[in-house]
Amino acid sequence: MEHEILRGGQDSIRAQLEALDTSAISDALDVLGIAGAALGLHSMSGKSRVAGPVKTLALEPVGAALPERHLGSAVIDSSSRGDIVVVEHNGRMDVAGWGGLLTVAAQRRGIAGIIVDGAARDIDQNRETQIPFFEKCAVPRTARGRIKEKTYDQPVRIGGVAVSPGDFVLADGSGVVFIPRAAVADAIALARKIVAKEAEMERLILDGRAVSDVLGTPYEDMLRGR
């Protein structure tokens, strides 16, 4: 099963993740004992579901020296089509960690989505590009003179979750879930079982079975990995 899930590479994994939802993947990661659900991130523009491999960017406050380059430019230039840029902005909501010109450049590069653990700006412009965009909030305040790029293509923390370049992410209307690359096959396989079980339970409820009977111990045990 794992071999079949991984066959076809990143494009296949992306499609398999997009066929699921974050709730199912989050439940699967719970069974695997992996923390993956990043808290406080919401869809702001573009289609409501996106999945793909992660490219990372970390921001920090500006010090005495001026930044050598504009934040985000290097991670965009090094990205491949279908990548999703995730930005460690430390949950800051007082200054934008991403802006419209970066989004235009990301679209040109073929980047599939952008996730900012904090605020971003130019949301109206972002909506015009139709790139899926997830963040904590929108704010017009510029990064200039306030924050700068710390690193890119290095491990980060997003919404309390440790994320490394090459991990996978699935984001939809319920939020954002990161899947370690080494666990993606197991997570997809478990999520499919959960989805199948819940579809059966939905059928029973629609057929008139008491929900207290349907949502019983076997379901709880499945979600605990028993």
99: in domain: yes
112: in domain: yes
Q: Long-range contact list for 28-31, CB < 8 A, 24+ apart?
A: 28/186, 28/187, 28/188, 28/189, 28/190, 28/191, 28/194, 29/177, 29/179, 29/183, 29/187, 30/223, 30/225, 31/190, 31/223, 31/224, 31/225
27: in domain: no
The reported pLDDT for the residue numbered 73 is 96
Adjacent-strand bridge partners of 119: 96, 137
**pLDDT tens digits for 132-173?**
999 999 999 999 999 999 999 999 999 999 999 999 999 999
Nearest to 30 by CA among 171, 190, 149: 190
Structural domain total, the chain: 1
23: in domain: no
pTM of the model: 0.91
Question: Which residues have a Cβ under 8 Å from the Cβ of 149 and sit 6 or more positions away?
Answer: 57, 58, 59, 60, 67, 69, 70, 71, 72, 74
28: in domain: no
**pLDDT tens digits for 75-93?**
999 999 999 999 999 999 9
